[in-house]
Amino acid sequence: MSLVIYNTLSREKEPFLPLDPAHVRLYVCGPTVYDYVHIGNARPVVAFDVLYRLLKRRYGRVTYVRNITDIDDRIIVRAADNKETIEALTTRTGDAYQSDMRRLGALPPDHEPRATGFVGQMIALIERLVGNGHAYAADGHVLFSVPSMPDYGRLSRKPRDELIAGARVEVAPYKKDPADFVLWKPSTEAQPGWESPWGRGRPGWHIECSAMSGSLLGETFDIHAGGLDLIFPHHENEIAQSRSAFGTATMATYWMHNGFLNISGEKMSKSLGNFFTVHELLDQYPGEAIRLLLLSAQYRQPLDFTHEGLTQAKATLDRWYGVLRGKESSPSADVPSGVEDALSDDLNTPLAIAAIHQLGEPAALRAGGNALGLLQQDAEAWFRWSPAGTSGPTDTEIEAAIAARQAARKAKDFKESDRIRDDLKAKGVILEDGSKGTTWKRG
């Protein structure tokens, strides 16, 4: 089945037609790293990882760029609070983010640029915009001139009074038009800054993604994605910058936006304080359970976060791994059609999960799981997982006890072998005797 995706630009589902079928290009906006990311921030990462996997199955070459924003005023404030350098903070939090996303089964993107590595490209892009009349310098700032772009606002479809609603309250004196937005701003001695034609300063947020996508994917590319909250102003402004700098009719052909992960009906966010970090959840649940929960709703729909949801997701995976256990085989070459067809329809992951429930064959189950980035481990390893901080026997101690029980059984000392089994059970370890020997799981 051919791939159909919902394009925010047209507000319609459209067939996916790459600019160059020999090389598909995808950009996803990553997080601003000043602390551990929350599980809402993981939703675009996991959803568009399923897209990346699908594109890789269909097209010869896919380049996937997912950036890390490591320049931001929240970062400056946090580093000062922590009494550490900005670099120390963003290196630590950026690395933690990458490791947490790996533990959620997200494939590493082809490029994962950090904004600080592209400041030269940002300055070059801003110079181009100033040169062709789309931007102007004022008071140490450089601003994008919104009236210079007649079709500004096409993505968000916001009327002009809404475009300036946020800026109206207190319009900065250096703005020629209230809707104009910052490309470059001055830095004080205490703030991080780079030398530029407009003095020492730092880039605005939107220009970062235009520079990184332009440098790594080209002036136009296929898909640009991120969360719903990025449509305006972030993506609208990225489009304005890139199209005006390069003189192109589009920046990306398809714009995809995931819905929010909510908690008690409210958007999970750092500012509301109603969040769980991926890092802390990974202590309590296996990464694949968190991933399955994130895929349990289609990516555009809102999704409620609950601990019961995570427990249920773990139980589902217990069942699937139970089918695989002791019957290991490599995944079948093709993703089962029920799964592939569901994903081809704008990444209908709940339908794909329903299709996986119908699969009884280990090879097909593995292949269906692969398409969702699930069932990526050995079944035995899955059942050995335990939450962090659980007291109880280690894997080595359990295996030694099983060997001792085996020896007792061989010596027909069934009292001893039962004692060992009951002792393990009391410690939360369940033994199962099968034709191929004894396996165990943490219950």
Residues found near ligand AMP in the complex (CB under 6 A)? 29, 31-32, 40-41, 43-44, 226-227, 229-230, 258, 260-261, 267-269
- Which lies closer to ligand AMP via its Cβ, residue 258 or residue 349? 258
**Residue corresponding to tokens 């390893």:** 381
- Which lies closer to ligand AMP via its Cβ, residue 261 or residue 420? 261
In the list 65, 125, 209, 297, the residue contacting Zn ion (rule: CB under 5 A) is 209
Edge-first strand listing for the sheet containing 266-267: 266-267, 261-263, 303-304
- Which lies closer to ligand AMP via its Cβ, residue 31 or residue 362? 31
Of 79-87, 95-103, 194-202, 204-212, the window that binds Zn ion (rule: CB under 5 A) is 204-212
Residues paired with 202 in a beta bridge: 185
Q: Residue 347, exposed/middle/buried by CB under 10 A (0-12, 13-18, 19+)?
A: buried
Q: Which amino acid is at 23?
A: H
Out of ligand AMP, Zn ion, none, what residue 43 binds, judged by CB under 5 to 8 A for its kind, is ligand AMP
Out of ligand AMP, Zn ion, none, what residue 260 binds, judged by CB under 5 to 8 A for its kind, is ligand AMP
- Which lies closer to ligand AMP via its Cβ, residue 33 or residue 355? 33
> Tokens standing for 82?
């922590």
Q: Residue 151: name the closest of 211, 235, 239 by CA.
A: 239
Output the smallest distance, CB 310 to ligand AMP, in A. Answer: 16
Out of ligand AMP, Zn ion, none, what residue 209 binds, judged by CB under 5 to 8 A for its kind, is Zn ion
Out of Zn ion, ligand AMP, none, what residue 41 binds, judged by CB under 5 to 8 A for its kind, is ligand AMP
Query: Could you say whether residue 104 binds Zn ion (CB under 5 A)?
Result: no
- Which lies closer to ligand AMP via its Cβ, residue 259 or residue 331? 259
Burial string for 107-132 (b: 16+ CB within 10 Å, else e) reads eebbbbbbbbebbebbbebbbbbbee
- Binding to Zn ion in span 9-48, by CB under 5 A: 29
Helix residue ranges, H only, 218-348? 236-246, 278-284, 287-295, 307-324, 337-344
- Which lies closer to Zn ion via its Cβ, residue 67 or residue 417? 67
Output the smallest distance, CB 234 to Zn ion, in A. Answer: 5
Out of ligand AMP, Zn ion, none, what residue 31 binds, judged by CB under 5 to 8 A for its kind, is ligand AMP
Cis peptide before 197 (omega within 30 of 0): no
- Which lies closer to ligand AMP via its Cβ, residue 227 or residue 336? 227
Of 201-209, 281-289, 330-338, 415-423, the window that binds Zn ion (rule: CB under 5 A) is 201-209
Residue 310, CB half-sphere, CA atoms under 13 Å: how many? Answer: 16
Q: Give contact residues for Zn ion (rule: CB under 5 A).
A: 29, 209
